[in-house]
Amino acid sequence: MELSLSNPIVQSSILPLFLSLLIAGALGFTSAKGARIATLGVAISALITVIVIQGFSFPPKSTSQKLPYLIAAAGMIGLVFDLLKLQGNLWRLAGIILPLATLGWLFGSRLGSTQIDGFIYLAAALLVSLFAYWQFEKSRHRLDSGIQILLYCAGLGAILMIGSSAMLSQSTFGLMAAVGGFLLLNWPKFRFPMGAAMVFPMTTALAALTAQSLFFTKASGVAIAVLIPVLMISYLLPKIPLLKKVSSPAIRAICLTAVGVIPLGASILCAIMLTETSTLGY
């Protein structure tokens, strides 16, 4: 296998994984303030990866060309939140404004001609964002948010691949690898908080990719709906009798992943059953 930047496997796995590891590690191990903003490494890795995969256009002309701008803007806002230790109502307010602004920029010009199914698609993308923002604020000192983002990326990437959208699928797997690199630094020993510098850009990117998947690809909307509960598995874990007393962060991460694999697998199965087969397209 040729290990060059033109190789899709390198672009969507090796590059983002190692960039995230290196940048987050360089930030996190320098000082206490560096540890607080270590998740910025995920945003930087995701930004570089998306540009390598999709290219960069100024000004952006299509919805996919807007993704790097969304990641950069949300990452900067998240960095400010982490540096100033902003939480509570401000975090929840950002969780409403950012997804609305994202979807408005991507699809605002289409609203006049959007049919009922289009508004359902936008509501689904908004739902993904709201679930993520409001939950992840409460799990800054656990791996929960990172695991849930990783699993959602894995599911959406697979659904997009089955739905014949190679570029969006590759971008989504790149986001998954970027988050995975940071999780490797934090497991089995938890080192750096899951800050807004990761949550804001990743959630923004996933809202954008979910909406694009529903509007512009053959990806199954039912499969994506089945995948959304992945973002609620941290609520489900305490309700499972055998798992609710798990206290070790390392074991909790394994249990959370095991629970999340259920809706992840179900969504991929739905995609296989419901998506029309065709050749992968960009």
Tokens of 12: 């969507």
pLDDT at 243: 66
pLDDT at 110: 65
One DSSP character per residue, the chain reads ---STTSHHIIIIIHHHHHHHHHHHHHHTT-HHHHHTTTHHHHHHHHHHHHHHH---SS--STGGGHHHHHHHHHHHHHHHHHHT--THHHHHHHHHHHHHHHHHHHGGGGGG--HHHHHHHHHHHHHHHHHHHHHGGGTTSSHHHHHHHHHHHHHHHHHHHTTBHHHHHHHHHHHHHHHHHHHHTSSS--S---HHHHHHHHHHHHHHHHHHHHHS---HHHHHHHGGGGGHHHHGGGSTTTTT---HHHHHHHHHHHHHHHHHHHHHHHHHHSPP---B-
pLDDT at 262: 93
pLDDT at 78: 94
Question: If you search the block for the tokens 């950002």, which residue do you land on?
Answer: 94
pLDDT at 94: 87
pLDDT at 281: 47
Give per-residue pLDDT as tens, 82-114.
999 888 888 888 888 888 888 888 877 666 656
Give, in degrees to the nearest 5, the angle at Cα 69 between 68 and 75.
90
Q: Where are the domains of the chain?
A: 8-274
Q: Which portions of the chain are predicted below pLDDT 70?
A: 1-3, 109-115, 117-118, 241-244, 276-282
Give per-residue pLDDT as tens, 177-216.
999 999 999 988 888 988 899 999 999 998 899 888 888 8
pLDDT at 234: 80
pLDDT at 133: 76
- Report the b/e string of 233-247 with b at 16+ CB within 10 A: bbeebeeeeebeebe
pTM greater than 0.75:
yes
